[in-house]
Structure 1
């Protein structure tokens, strides 16, 4: 059963929404970030970069307090207004042939704790604490967790009907993405959507594991401090964007390693031969096309690597994952990389033309070898989550990447 909660969002006024909405802070280069802050006074980036106002870099608790102050200023200046009714927010992003249509809503920390909201990534405790402290200080949630659910005809039909009306927001951003948002405030329609979601067994986190974990930690801390805790307080929920699994787009991360762990090229290829049938593909860009097949770029040439399935044994959903296979057969035993999160000898790349970028980086001598994979599927993600297992880091690059500041959930 999936519980979803309508809420009274804090939203940009219609004539400023295109200026307010921003990509995630980490996606901006320093030059682009400075340009936005210099020339767009309404950008949500001003809230999460509060020191810009004083030409000062701020961090820690000082930054958190200033974020809260900048948020209050946007409210005071009527850049943001609060809806007067509990609502669900139907939000669509469209770029070229790709369309993403989902719902902003509140999701339950209780369901997160009881594994009805399912995870496939580990989180770091210090980051959980940091983000929970951030949420407690700023008192709002502006970056939704991206979750997915099994396609549902009832939900799809309701959303299609709602989209027949003109959207509340309609704007296009510089990256050629068209954004539309509808407000669903009719209690009968909300009830139908909630009833349909109750028929769905589980929600799966696609992107935002640390945001989910920190919201849960915030709720645990708030509950301990609240002698009249009822379970209905805002901190018992966190904002999510729910998208049917057929609309999730999953891309791969390539792996690049700085050296061959003391091996010569010939010694390295001989070690690979234990688990792979190796074919030299020359200097033409080569991408793998099947599960358990990999591309490798080494010393100016591409190779195809075909897993010897009689040698490598599948034990569970994790062992079948290509990122895990690469780790267990090459990265750890041959290249000596034991901690994929901390080892500085390995780096990751993603994107449409990443095989070309990987080749360029290796040709420049920054890395010795690179590996390409096929994307992981949503079925594999669900199998990992259902089994309570954890993927290796940088296993998936998932779209859509959501805008910040379109709908804000107050804690």
Structure 2
């Protein structure tokens, strides 16, 4: 049987004429992939000047162009499988790539300057797309055999499959072309930095696309320093008086500390409490008029609990990584004289509703876990091509 032939790059555009990609604009990535056997030799940070030597020593491999890169991340029992592509920065400008969190402009500028100095993109933006069974079937088929690259970092496995045959490349990019929108999961500042660095039109950046139903969101803890003149009973009383707080109850030591939707776990003065939140009525106003942000526990926590009761002063609010345990939260609060809040994470349908409405949550509202692997894919940032 004749082996499948690679698809020439120019044929991707020719498949459907000038408007072949009627949805988001994606293209096969021009990337170098890390050789796991040589990973220890990857300099940190890697710059464009390092790339020829890294290729010569076999630390990096060129990915054939065009190709489909299927990327799977496994963390314990959790697994998410998607594709690595380049996405058009114009789609971010026009709202086809949608954000759900606010960003800091100084951080955006710093990342843009760092990429410009290094000349290399080292971490794809993580984007989500609504379930698409045909695309899932194609990706699963590519990932059926042994991966071309397998890297283990801490307790996670990152695997990459590369498919070059014309039929697969056509089919995958046909499916991607049918996606009307993409949603930023992780990498809001990187996406904004790509826009800062991009030409007015025609620029692309690296992204890893996963189906939304496979992504895992964890609650993002907040630790807030307590005013010196506010003992625990006074703070509890102030919290209980907030309109958004339905009731507060101490959590027994034997109970699991896990916030469910509509609740926030709180650590204060050596004890854990559960705060029940009041929700917008299902009858008044009607559900169709409920603001999407009002359904997100993190937003209610920041705007209707922390802001009026514990306004940011010296030291401000400290978010901790979403994967830390309750013991870490308690220890940090004990060491810094703080109160800790652990809200339930938003569901992805809430994330999409906020994005679709053009709103943003406060920074550090979602912690997507696991993360894509830093340095596994390197894309030379040559003029935003």
Answer whether TM exceeds 0.5 for this pair: yes
Quick one: distance in 2 between partners of 1:272 and 1:90? 48
Cα drift, residue 179 of structure 1: 3.0
In the alignment, structure 1 residue 356 sits paired with structure 2 residue 293: no
TM-score, normalised by the number of residues in structure 1: 0.78
Alpha-carbon spacing, 1:124–1:328, altered in 2? closer, same or farther (3 Å): closer
**Given the alignment of the two structures, is residue 182 of structure 1 paired with residue 161 of structure 2, yes or no?**
yes
SS at match of 1:129: helix
Question: Contact 2:262–2:276 (CA<8 Å) still a contact in 1?
Answer: yes
Asked if the contact 1:140/1:409 (under 8 Å) is kept, the reply is yes
TM-align CA RMSD: 2.6
Task: Tell me, yes or no, if structure 1 residue 9 matches structure 2 residue 31.
Answer: yes
Task: Check if 1:249 corresponds to 2:216.
Answer: yes
Unaligned runs of 5+ in 1: 21-39, 51-66, 224-228
SS in 1 for 2:169: helix
Aligned 1:174-213 pairs, distance under 5 A: 174-213=153-192
Give the direction of change, closer, same or farther, for the CA distance of 1:294–1:407 in structure 2 (3 Å limit).
closer
Deviation at 1:218, TM superposition (A): 1.4
Q: Which runs of 5+ in 2 are unaligned?
A: 1-22
Distance in 2 (alpha carbons) for counterparts of 1:80 and 1:127: 29
Structure 2 partner of 1:57: none
CA contact (8 A) 2:66 2:169 kept: no
Per the alignment, do residues 329 and 407 of structure 1 end up closer, same or farther by CA in structure 2, a change over 3 Å counting? closer
**CA 1:172–1:81 in structure 2 vs 1: closer, same or farther (change >3 Å)?**
closer
Q: C-alpha deviations, 1:245-300, integer Å up to 9, x for none?
A: 11101101122222147333332222222232122334456525432212222222
Give the structure 1 partner of residue 295 of structure 2. 320
Correspondence for 2:120: 140
In structure 1, the residue matched to 2:237 is 270
Correspondence 1:156 to 2:136: yes
Match of 1:296 among 257, 266, 288: 266
In the aligned structure 1, how far is the partner of 2:28 from the partner of 2:95?
A: 21
| Alpha-carbon spacing, 1:300–1:110, altered in 2? closer, same or farther (3 Å) | same
SS of residue matched to 1:319: helix
Structure-1 residue corresponding to 2:375: 405
- Structure-to-structure mapping, 1:339-378, within 5 angstroms: 344-352=315-323, 354-362=325-333, 364-378=334-348
2:16 alignment partner in structure 1: none
TM-score between both structures, scaled by the size of structure 2 = 0.83
1:329 is aligned to 2:304: yes
Range with bigger deviation, 96-105 or 290-299: 290-299
Alpha carbons of structure 1 residues 299 and 406: separation in structure 2 relative to 1, 3 Å: closer
Which of these residues, 123, 143, 152, is aligned with residue 103 of structure 2?
Answer: 123
1:90 CA drift (Å): 0.7
Q: Which residue of 2 aligns with 1:63?
A: none
- Indicate conservation of the 8 Å contact 1:3/1:194, yes or no: no
Out of 252-261 and 316-325, give the one that drifted further: 252-261
